[in-house]
Amino acid sequence: MNLRRLKQSVDLIRVLVGRDIKLLYKRSALGVLWTLVNPLLQLLTFVFLRAVLKFDIPHFTSYVFTGLLVWQWFSKTTSQSTSIIIGNRPLIRQPGFPVAVLPPVVVTTGMIHFALALPVLMVFLFFDGLPMTPALMWLPVVMLIQFFLTVTLAYLLAGINVVFRDTQNAWAVLVQAFFFLTPIFYSLRQIPEHFHALYVLNPMVSILTAYRSILIEGHAPDWTALFKVVAVLAVLFPMSVLLFRHQSRRFVEEI
């Protein structure tokens, strides 16, 4: 891809992201605040459960809210990506439309929502007695890793779901299962040690732990764990793009 085509693709992503955000909040009274409604309601539920079940996690509110915001970006974006081709039929059918920009569009939109929610999270951290530290400089790095993890899955899911429509429903079930298999409202320390090797196979565990290291514990993340995620993505990302491009030849006839 030459520089001119790359610039055109980036400009198109920017336009489509803007379109999606405007459509999402058109005639909405709360607008972007809807980004916070679901995680806040879930947070209240887990705060109640903590009072009942006596979860022994320091800064529990900040701990859970961080997990919910990170998970919301991942789960909503990957779920939306399953239908992104079918949902953009008019664009797909236009000759010469660069269909490969669609997965990054949905992931970038989710990242913007996450970034808009970060100031609210910072308020939670402040009232929880957690100061801002120099470790915040590593936050964009972790966000970038999560972006590439999510866009890798977005390419895979978008490409497969056009042919196998059960992908959308299957992924919804898997995301729900992984919500409970990811330490969002509990600590990895509460899991028996012989299960830890299985837990770390879930890349969101390493990513979520990195966010909490930066935001709650105030130190740099575990770079060894993150490097393993990056190493896997270095293989899976180009493979997912190639699969998507291969499937894209069938998009028009399948939709």
Domain definitions of the chain by residue range? 3-254
**205-248: pLDDT as tens digits:** 999 999 999 999 999 999 999 999 999 999 999 999 999 988 88
CB proximity list for 173: less than 8 A, separation 6 or greater:
none
Return all residues near 121 (Cβ < 8 A) that are at least 6 apart.
62, 65, 66, 69, 215
Give the C-alpha separation, 182 to 52, whole Å. 21
**Below-70 pLDDT ranges, the chain:** 1-6, 8, 20-35, 37-38, 46-55, 252-255
Treating both helix axes as pointing N-terminal to C-terminal, what angle do 34-53 and 102-127 enclose, rounded to 10 degrees? 50
Give the model's pLDDT for residue 91: 80
Which residues have a Cβ under 8 Å from the Cβ of 219 and sit 6 or more positions away? 133, 135, 213
C-alpha dihedral, 102 to 107 to 108 to 112, nearest 10°: 140
Where do the H-state alpha helices sit in 2-33?
Answer: 3-24
CB 152 within 8 A of CB 103: no
